[in-house]
Amino acid sequence: MINSFTEALVSLQGWLLDRLVQPPLLAMGLGSYLEVAFDGVEFVLWGVLQMALAYLLLRPIEALRPIEVWPDRQAVRVDVLYTMLDRLGIVPLLVFVLLAPLVVEVDSWLRFHDIIPGQLEDLLPALERQPLLSFVIYLLILDFAEYWRHRLSHTLRWWWALHAIHHSQRQMTLWTDSRNHLLDDLSSGLWFAAISLLIGVPPGHFIGLLMAIRTIESLSHVNAWLSFGRLGELLLVSPRYHRWHHALVLPDDRRYRYGCNFAVLFPVWDQIFGTQYRGQAMPATGIGDDGPLPESAARSGFWRQQGEGLRALAAAVLPGTAARPATSAHTNDHRQDEQHGR
């Protein structure tokens, strides 16, 4: 059954490339990008599949056991747009167009100096016969790197100005995972690609690793009373665990002044580095009034949110620049750090 599905997916991938992608590329004299385009079509297909599965599996759970019920779901619809841009490859395509020349230069430099990134299988040859174990080890390494990327996005003032778009959502659902400023996506994409290149992730593993991470991230944002059980909550980031990361009011402890529960997949990283908080409640989500964004960011549309993120970024890096009108600012007595409203 799996082989039949894979064959059907490859056939559809080839058909889409031949009928929809190849003609315009050849017409523009970009035939050299056909191989990359073939991989891009695969990425889009997996994105469509992931969106469909997320909706079919997670949306019913949200409907049956919601943590919160909202009469107006306009803010949620914006997150659906973010998800489509992300999962269908539109944002990654933008990243590719911007970074392709740099990637070519770096690749040429590495080849000229005979520098070939090693792979995990070079250190542990036995893993060549254990592809599943190899996949899991790469996943652990990438998740460790993602923990630190996520933590830095809360600690560095300029990065938090962008990442706050993600945390401004007060109607958190399975779609919230992709709610990110484009520059935040660019920074995250660069991080993930650089770490993957550094540790030599095989091309055959790359899309699978990315999809595994994104699937769990969608699950962790779900608006549902969903428990993984006592053991499961220790092993994997659950909706309850991640909801505390998005909490409007963080635990009153200096350890959490920049946030808590930064882990993307495996909570063990929070436990090791002292950022874990295991609350039993399901707190309200969003950023506080002393955050870098106006309150309207929770409800505004895509382009307005992108503009608000840019203004917050300017305020973070340019002295004397106001992130938002003073009339939009409020006081949040629960925060211990004036730069982080969540």
Position 72: which residue type?
Answer: D
Residue 330 has pLDDT above 50, yes or no: no
- Among residues 11, 191, 155, 186, which one has the least CA distance to residue 86? 186
When pLDDT is averaged across residues 288-301 and rounded to a whole number, the result is 82
Q: What are phi and psi of 242, to 5 degrees?
A: -75, -25
What is the C-alpha to C-alpha distance for residues 219 and 242, in angstroms, rounded to an integer? 10
SS3 content of the chain, % helix, strand, coil (to 5): 65, 0, 35
CA 251 to chain centre: 24
Could you tell me the pLDDT band of residue 332, with boundaries at 50, 70 and 90? very low
Higher pLDDT, 75 or 113: 75
Higher pLDDT, 292 or 158: 158
Instruction: Look at residue 170 and give its three-state secondary structure.
Output: coil
327 contact partners, CB below 8 Å, separation of at least 6? none
- Residue 119: its pLDDT value, please? 67
What is the C-alpha to C-alpha distance for residues 84 and 333, in angstroms, rounded to an integer? 37
- Residue 166: its pLDDT value, please? 95
Q: How many residues does the chain have?
A: 342
> What is the 8-class DSSP label of residue 285?
B
Higher pLDDT, 32 or 257: 257
What is the C-alpha to C-alpha distance for residues 96 and 109, in angstroms, rounded to an integer? 19
- Residue 107: its pLDDT value, please? 67
When pLDDT is averaged across residues 312-317 and rounded to a whole number, the result is 91
Residue 87 has pLDDT above 70, yes or no: yes
- Residue 293: its pLDDT value, please? 87
What is the C-alpha to C-alpha distance for residues 267 and 122, in angstroms, rounded to an integer? 29
Residue 190 has pLDDT above 60, yes or no: yes
For the chain, give every domain's residue range: 1-64, 74-328
* Mean pLDDT score across all residues of the chain: 82
Could you tell me the pLDDT band of residue 294, with boundaries at 50, 70 and 90? confident
Rounded to whole angstroms, the maximal C-alpha distance in the chain is 63
C-alpha separations of 4 from 17, 51, 56 in Å: 20, 21, 22
Residue 205 has pLDDT above 90, yes or no: no
The neighbour count for residue 118, using CB atoms within 10 Å, is: 10
Instruction: Look at residue 247 and give its three-state secondary structure.
Output: strand
Q: What are phi and psi of 285, to 5 degrees?
A: -115, 160
Is 286 in contact with 295 (CB distance < 8 Å)?
no
- Residue 45: its pLDDT value, please? 85
Could you tell me the pLDDT band of residue 148, with boundaries at 50, 70 and 90? very high
What is the C-alpha to C-alpha distance for residues 276 and 266, in angstroms, rounded to an integer? 11
Look at 53-62, 201-210, 289-298 and tell me which has the smallest mean pLDDT: 201-210
Residue 242 has pLDDT above 90, yes or no: yes
- Residue 336: its pLDDT value, please? 38
Is 194 in contact with 318 (CB distance < 8 Å)?
no
When pLDDT is averaged across residues 274-287 and rounded to a whole number, the result is 90
What the block records as the tokens of 31 is 């035939």
- Residue 128: its pLDDT value, please? 75
Secondary structure (DSSP) of 48-86: HHHHHHHHHHHHHHHHHS-S---S--HHHHHHHHHHHHH
